[in-house]
């Protein structure tokens, strides 16, 4: 007498929900060979009593408990699995050898006794060794739940500068929202520093929270680079966010700023209908992102010259205050025809205010960065024509996921290509 449940069809391959009795007898009384035959003959997804029995099954037979499969999550998992089965349903794949404590000990560089104490929850092991054992076990795909007591607290420090800008306000908000979804054993500390390198270096070296990992937006300065290299050499993972520090080889999460600058030049060159000079405004600071944007903008005009546009003027100004606004006003007041304007930093709000009131302001094709309420309004009233946004919300999520992987909290590698920046015009902004 065979005990079975109704067999749903998915992607053309039969799947049966797990049951606790196979062939009318408890699994333990049948043994692995009989359990394997029952599963294969009926294409069962079956509940098997022991790990040894589970190892005897083909890898394409997925083993679940009855309680798990009755839950909505379990049912979704079954649906996902059946959607990816290949045509050779019954073909067996090589069965991986069972991971032993000795394998984990060798991978982690610790003794067999240490592995036994960690994985059996007996305690008495230093936190750093605990993490090494768990990381090694996960990398070897040791199939078990790890003791809660060994999930040590991971302290991730986020160091950001320039909190007064709308972009960084969005970035902080994104991290706060992402932090709310973290496990209780992962704590995110936010530190706001000034834009000068000395203050940034002091904070990097302080490490008052005994951080496990560091996510940072920092100015490009040799002292900052050296401080970050010291952190990295200590074994603490470092992720650069938004902008890079020249000469430092840690992970970077952010857009390709050179490509953003080239894109700004392309939009201006192809969409501007006026003849005249093109002016770029660059902040007088040490952030590599701004240098890369200006470099990309210049490279495009060098590679694809436009006979109607003359890009030959770059204005340098402190990003704080209104000095950049006055520089642009002086250029407009000079009487020379200004066809296009590219701002590779901040101050878009006050620049737009000036252009709205200047007699020639509406004749300038204006490309800038970061979508805010003020730049959205400027697109709507045609003061700005193009805004490139670097999606800080995506950067925050990516940086946290990558850090959790570097710390061994996530076992699956995190792909980290350049973040895609977004292009906004009057036609696609709300």
Residues 114 and 182 in one domain: no
Stretch (H or E) spanning 266: helix 257-271
Indicate whether 57 belongs to any domain.
yes
Q: Indicate the SS3 state at residue 308.
A: coil
Residues 275 and 238 in one domain: no
Residues 20 and 141 in one domain: no
Indicate whether 134 belongs to any domain.
yes
Q: How far apart are CA 326 and CA 415, in angstroms?
A: 44
DSSP codes joined into one string, 330-370: HHHHTT--EEEEEE-SS-HHHHHHHHHHSTTGGGSEEEEE-
Residue 158 CB partners (closer than 8 Å, separation 6+):
175, 188, 189, 190, 191, 215, 216
Residues 211 and 280 in one domain: no
Residues 350 and 367 in one domain: yes
Indicate whether 357 belongs to any domain.
yes
- Rounded to 5, what percent of the chain is helix, strand, coil? 45, 15, 40
Q: What is the pLDDT of residue 140?
A: 84
Residues 305 and 326 in one domain: yes
Indicate whether 14 belongs to any domain.
yes
Give the count of domains, the chain.
4
Stretch (H or E) spanning 41: helix 27-42
Indicate whether 166 belongs to any domain.
yes
Q: How many CB atoms lie within 10 A of CB 355?
A: 22
Looking up residue 122, the CATH number of its domain turns out to be: 1.10.260.40
Residues 243 and 277 in one domain: no
Q: Which domain holds residue 117?
A: 101-150
Residues 232 and 300 in one domain: no
Residues 267 and 355 in one domain: yes
Q: What is the pLDDT of residue 92?
A: 41
Q: What is the pLDDT of residue 317?
A: 84
Instruction: Compute CA distances 190 → 182, 224, 230, whole Å.
Output: 15, 18, 21
Task: Note the helical H segments in 71-186.
Answer: 72-82, 101-108, 112-119, 127-139, 166-179
Residues 146 and 166 in one domain: no
Q: What is the pLDDT of residue 163?
A: 59
Torsion angle in degrees (nearest 10) through CA of 30, 32, 35, 41: -130
Residues 229 and 243 in one domain: yes
Indicate whether 327 belongs to any domain.
yes
| pLDDT tens series, the chain, 430 aa | 333 333 333 333 333 333 333 333 334 334 444 444 444 344 334 333 344 444 454 444 444 443 433 444 444 444 443 333 333 333 344 445 678 888 999 988 999 888 888 887 766 677 778 878 888 888 888 876 665 545 568 899 999 976 567 888 899 999 998 888 887 788 999 988 887 889 999 999 988 788 999 999 998 999 999 999 999 998 899 999 999 999 999 899 999 999 999 999 999 999 999 999 999 999 887 789 999 999 999 999 999 999 999 999 999 887 666 788 999 999 999 988 999 999 998 889 999 999 999 999 999 999 999 999 999 999 999 999 999 999 999 999 999 999 998 988 887 889 999 999 999 999 998 7
Q: How far apart are CA 353 and CA 366, in angstroms?
A: 13
Looking up residue 164, the CATH number of its domain turns out to be: 3.40.50.2300
Domain limit, last residue, from 150, 165, 188:
150
Domain limit, last residue, from 22, 48, 82:
82
Residues 348 and 263 in one domain: yes
Indicate whether 325 belongs to any domain.
yes
Domain limit, last residue, from 150, 166, 182:
150
Which of 301, 303, 308, 297 lies closest to 368, judged by CA? 297
Q: How many CB atoms lie within 10 A of CB 388?
A: 23
pLDDT tens digit string along 278-288?
A: 999 998 877 89
Q: What is the pLDDT of residue 319?
A: 62
Indicate whether 421 belongs to any domain.
no
Q: What is the pLDDT of residue 133?
A: 86
Instruction: Please give the structure tokens belonging to residue 255.
Output: 């857009």
Q: What is the pLDDT of residue 44?
A: 38
């Amino acid at each position: 007498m065979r005990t079975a449940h109704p067999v749903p069809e998915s992607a053309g391959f039969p799947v049966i929900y797990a049951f606790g009795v196979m062939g009318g007898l408890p699994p333990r009384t049948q043994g692995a060979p009989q359990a394997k035959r029952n599963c294969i003959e009926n294409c069962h997804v079956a509940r098997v009593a022991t790990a040894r029995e589970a190892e005897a099954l083909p890898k394409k037979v997925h083993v679940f408990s009855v309680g798990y499969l009755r839950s909505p999550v379990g049912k979704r998992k079954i649906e996902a699995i059946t959607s990816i089965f290949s045509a050779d349903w019954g073909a067996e794949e090589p069965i991986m050898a069972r991971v032993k404590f000795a394998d984990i000990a060798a991978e982690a560089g610790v003794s067999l006794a240490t592995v036994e104490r960690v994985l059996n929850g007996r305690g008495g092991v230093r936190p750093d060794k605990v993490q090494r054992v768990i990381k090694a076990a996960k990398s070897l795909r040791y199939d078990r739940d790890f003791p809660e007591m060994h999930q040590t607290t991971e302290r991730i420090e986020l160091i950001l500068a320039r909190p007064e800008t709308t972009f960084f306000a969005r970035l902080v908000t994104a991290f706060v929202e992402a932090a709310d979804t973290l496990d209780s054993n992962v704590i995110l500390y936010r530190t706001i520093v000034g834009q000068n390198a000395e203050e940034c270096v002091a904070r990097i070296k302080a490490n008052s929270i005994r951080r496990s990992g560091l996510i940072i937006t920092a100015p490009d300065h040799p002292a900052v680079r050296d401080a970050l290299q010291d952190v990295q050499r200590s074994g603490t993972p470092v992720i650069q966010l938004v902008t890079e520090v020249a000469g430092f080889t840690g992970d970077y999460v952010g857009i390709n700023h050179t490509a953003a600058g080239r894109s700004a030049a392309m939009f201006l060159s192809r969409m501007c209908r006026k003849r005249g000079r093109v002016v770029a405004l660059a902040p007088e600071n040490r952030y590599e992102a701004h240098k890369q944007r200006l470099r990309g903008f210049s490279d495009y005009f060098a590679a694809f010259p436009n006979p109607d546009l003359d890009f030959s003027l770059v204005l340098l100004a402190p990003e704080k205050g209104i000095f950049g606004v006055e520089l642009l006003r002086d250029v407009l007041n000079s009487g020379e025809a200004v066809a296009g304007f590219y701002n590779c930093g901040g101050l878009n709000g006050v620049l737009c205010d000036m252009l709205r009131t200047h007699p020639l302001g509406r004749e300038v094709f204006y490309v800038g960065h970061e979508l805010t309420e003020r730049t959205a309004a400027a697109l709507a009233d045609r003061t700005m024509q193009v805004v490139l946004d670097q999606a800080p919300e995506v950067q925050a999520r990516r940086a946290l996921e990558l850090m959790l992987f570097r710390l061994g909290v996530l076992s699956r590698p995190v792909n980290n290509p350049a973040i895609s920046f977004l292009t906004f015009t009057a036609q696609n902004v709300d």
